[in-house]
Amino acid sequence: MRSQWIWHKNELTYCLYNKVMNRRREKNVKVLCCWQLPQVCPSVKFMRYFELAKTTEIRIRANGTVSVRVDDCPHYMYDFAGSVTLPAGRHVLLAEVYNPADLPCLFVEGEGCESGAEWISNCGNGKWIPCECGGFYDPARVPSCCTLPVRRVQPVACARAEAKNGSSGLLYDFGRELFAYPVIEGIRGSGELPVNYGESEDEALDPVHSELSDTFPVGDSPVYTANLTKAFRYIFVPQGENIPSFGSLSCNEEYYPVRTRAKFTSSDELLNKIYKTAEYTLELTSREFFLDGLKRDRWVWAGDTLQSEWMSLYSFFDCALIRNTLVALLGKDKFEQHINGIMDYSFYVIWGVWEYYRYTGDRRFVEEVYPRSLELYNFCKSRTNANGFMQKINNEWVFIDWADFSTDGELCAEQMLLYKATCAIAAMEELLGIATGAGRAREAETLREKIDKTFWTGEGYAHDTAGHPVTRYANIFAVLMGFCSQAQAKIILEKVLLNDSVLKIKTPYMKFYEMSALAELGRADKMLEIIKSYWGGMLAEGATSFWEEYDPAVKGAERYAMYGRLFGKSLCHSWGASPVYLLGRYLVGLRPEQDGYKTFVLRPFLDGKTYFEAELPAGEGSVQVTYRKGLLRVYSSAAPGRLELEGKEFFIEAGKAFELCLKD
For residue 386, pLDDT over 90 is answered with yes
pLDDT (0 to 100) of residue 220? 63
Per-residue pLDDT band at 222 (split at 50, 70, 90): low
From residue 342, give the alpha-carbon distance in Å to each of 34, 35, 395, 398: 11, 10, 11, 6
| DSSP three-state, residue 26 | strand
Cα 628 from chain centroid (whole Å)? 34
Report the relative pairing of strands 600-602 and 658-661 from DSSP bridges.
unpaired
Q: Which residue has the higher pLDDT, 442 or 214?
A: 442
Does pLDDT of 312 surpass 70? Answer: yes
CB count within 10 Å of CB 631 equals 13
Asked if 142 and 6 touch (Cβ cutoff 8 Å), the reply is no
Separation of alpha carbons 203 and 63, rounded Å? 43
3-state secondary structure of 106: strand
Mean pLDDT of 476-491: 97
Give me the pLDDT at residue 74, please. Answer: 78
- Residue 21 confidence (pLDDT) above 90: yes
560, 566, 567, 573 alpha-carbon torsion, rounded to 10°: -50
Q: How far, in Å, CA of 223 to CA of 180, rounded? A: 16
| Measured distance between the N- and C-terminal CA atoms of the chain, rounded to whole angstroms | 59
- The upper half-sphere exposure of residue 412, i.e. CA atoms within 13 Å in the direction of its Cβ, equals 31
Distance CA 333, CA 10 (A): 13
SS3 428: helix
Q: Residues 117-176: pLDDT tens digits?
A: 999 999 988 899 999 998 899 999 999 998 899 999 999 999 999 999 999 999 999 999
- Residue 332: predicted pLDDT: 95
Judge whether 251 and 178 are in contact, CB under 8 Å. Answer: yes
- pLDDT bin (cut points 50, 70, 90) of residue 621 is very high
Q: Do residues 33 and 291 lie in contact, with contact meaning Cβ atoms separated by under 8 Å?
A: no
The pLDDT confidence band at residue 221, using thresholds 50, 70 and 90, is: low
Q: Does residue 325 sit in helix, strand or coil?
A: helix
Q: Is the pLDDT of residue 219 over 90?
A: no
pLDDT at 664 over 70: no
Residues 6+ apart with CB under 8 A from 382: none
Q: How far apart are CA 265 and CA 242, in angstroms?
A: 53
Contact 262, 584 (CB under 8 A): yes
Compute the mean pLDDT over every residue in the chain, rounded to the nearest whole number. 95
CA dihedral 240, 28, 576, 181 (to 10 degrees): 60
Mean pLDDT within 244-249: 90
Name the phi and psi angles at 179, rounded to 5: -120, 100
Rounded to 5 degrees, φ, ψ at 29 are -100, 130
C-alpha–C-alpha distance, residues 394 and 402, integer Å: 20
Tell how strand 641-645 and strand 600-602 pair up. Answer: parallel
Give the pLDDT of residue 486. 96
Contact 3, 32 (CB under 8 A): no
- DSSP symbols for 123-165: SSSS--EEPB--S---TTS-GGG----EEEE--SEEEEEE-TT
pLDDT digit string, tens, across residues 56-104: 999 999 999 999 999 988 788 888 888 999 999 999 999 999 999 999 9
State percent of the chain over pLDDT 90.
88
Helices then strands, each counted (H, E), the chain: 15, 27
Cβ atoms of residues 589 and 228 within 8 Å: no
Residue 227 has pLDDT above 70, yes or no: no
Which pairs count as long-range contacts for 30-34, CB under 8 Å and 24+ apart, including other chains? 33/299, 34/341
Q: What domains lie within the chain, and their CATH numbers?
A: 11-145 (2.60.120.260), 150-254 (2.60.120.260), 263-502 (1.50.10.10), 590-661 (2.60.420.10)
- 223 has pLDDT over 80: no
| Contact assessment for residue 380 and residue 391, using Cβ atoms and an 8 Å cutoff | no
